[in-house]
Amino acid sequence: MNLNPVFGARVGAQASVGNGIINIGSNTTIAGLSFTNSSITNYSTSNVLIADNTFTGSYTDRPTDLATAQAFGAINVSANALPAIQLDGVDNLVISNNTFLYPQVQTYQSQLGTLGGVGMAPVCNQNGANTSGLCLSGNAIRLNNSTNAVISGNTVIGALDEAFRINNPSGTLLIDRNTISNMRMGPDSNIGTAIIIGQNRGTSTVTISNNSISNNSPGVYPIVASPNQNGVAVASARDLKLNNIDPIEIGLCRGSANYPRAQDLYADPNFSGNCSGPTTMNVSVIGNTIGLPSISGGIKQDADGIDFNIGSNSILRANVSGNTILTLGGSRGGDNGITFDIRGKADARVTIADNKINDVSDEAIDLGFTNTVSNNQPGFAEFTLSGNGFSGSTDGLLNIDLINNPGIPVSSFFVTGQGNNASQVGAVKPRSFSFNTGSFPKLYLNGSLFLQPSP
């Protein structure tokens, strides 16, 4: 329906919509409204503009009041809760200049993965103490199978696990100039992130640019015992071993074929996953600023600033340039500023240039390659690094880790513009010589062959 005759022209405060779900069709504009514990969903839809609105909470049948959520207090969760905006199969979408405050929290059943030598376990499995496998998610925006989407100029405060959760985009996707802060963590450490994009089919061109991500809240809401539960409290610092967040994460063909362990899989079985055929992502991650706060009490924050996870049949063309990672917080400064985990028969060509990485506990940039397919199907990757600056408590600029390498999982690395100090560039570091029976890649430093180790 056309809401304009209902609300009239905007005068003074925003007209308000409360406690419900608005289901939209094509050629829809929603602008200038105030939503409280309400969500926007859709049916077959194209040409949508959602702009200049305020979303306080989102739809749920078990609401948590805003003050409690802001205080990081005990929350209510429900299988019926929704993100503030959840759209499926939308074509030509713009979501711009909206404000999202503490979306309500949804429960969902996590998928199963291998757990050591003792069979299968749900991804969300609290050290065996709670095996319900129920994860939590409180998204501002969730898009599935979108084509040609823009998410720009939005402010998100207090989302849980993911502010923007985008699965299987096609065409173009632009995520630009958004401000994300006070993220809350649920029990799935692999999907805990501010901006996450997963893909397991088709072709996409993605730009993540000029976003600011800061001030995540310390502490984690645990796995819940039932789909609908009131008063879920944050795990105490004494019981909390990790606080996990990877502010920007890309999952391309990240499924059980290459990531079989429960601790490596994404909890949501519908997110990313195995690719049955060649799947292409052309992605630029440029000009973003990440600054997570230090956390007291000896809590280790396990965070990678910009994190790529790539599996078999993926074709990745990535440009990661001009980003600033101020700090990843935690008592030990997080992990790596930029990291790539590439497994199986993947084709990755990557440029990492002119990033400023400060105050991380491990290498500024970490590249990991794991063979998980037959020996005659090695992957291929080419990495070019230039002009990256790093400081703080790092172990150097670059580490390259090869695991189960039967031949040549990567072609070559070109590191330029980083000075000629070999200590800045970590050696190719095989996890175990017994697993790596083939030759190792060549590493060039400023045009000269720096390292070509053999097993």
Is the dihedral angle over the CA atoms 209, 168, 198, 375 positive or is it negative?
A: negative
Q: Which domain range does residue 130 map to?
A: 14-361
For residue 99, being part of any structural domain is answered with yes
Give pTM, 2 decimals: 0.91
Instruction: Of 23-32, 47-56, 180-189, 276-285, give the lowest mean pLDDT range.
Output: 180-189
For residue 206, being part of any structural domain is answered with yes
For residue 445, being part of any structural domain is answered with no
Q: How far is CA 433 from CA 116, 379, 407, in A?
A: 22, 19, 13
For residue 294, being part of any structural domain is answered with yes
Q: What is the mean pLDDT of residues 130-155?
A: 96
Q: What is the mean pLDDT of residues 88-103?
A: 97
Would you call 144 exposed, middle or buried from its count of C-beta atoms within 10 A (0-12, 13-18, 19+)? Answer: middle
Evaluate if residue 210 carries a pLDDT over 80.
yes
Contact 221/75 with Cβ under 8 angstroms?
yes
Evaluate if residue 432 carries a pLDDT over 70.
no
For residue 51, being part of any structural domain is answered with yes
Q: How far is CA 314 from CA 18, 275, 279, 286, 311, in A?
A: 43, 7, 5, 21, 6
Instruction: Of 79-88, 182-191, 366-375, give the lowest mean pLDDT range.
Output: 366-375
Q: What is the pLDDT of residue 395?
A: 72
For residue 424, being part of any structural domain is answered with no
Query: What percent of the chain stands above pLDDT 70?
Result: 76
For residue 98, being part of any structural domain is answered with yes
Instruction: Of 137-151, 252-266, 310-324, give the lowest mean pLDDT range.
Output: 252-266
Evaluate if residue 137 carries a pLDDT over 90.
yes
Domains: count for the chain: 1
Q: What is the mean pLDDT of residues 44-60?
A: 94
- The position carrying tokens 């702009």 is 51
CA atoms in the 13 A half-sphere facing the CB of 95: 28
Q: What is the pLDDT of residue 375?
A: 44
For residue 104, being part of any structural domain is answered with yes
Q: What is the pLDDT of residue 213?
A: 94
Residue with the larger pLDDT of the pair 330 and 142 = 142
- Residue 402 binned pLDDT confidence (cut-offs 50, 70, 90): low
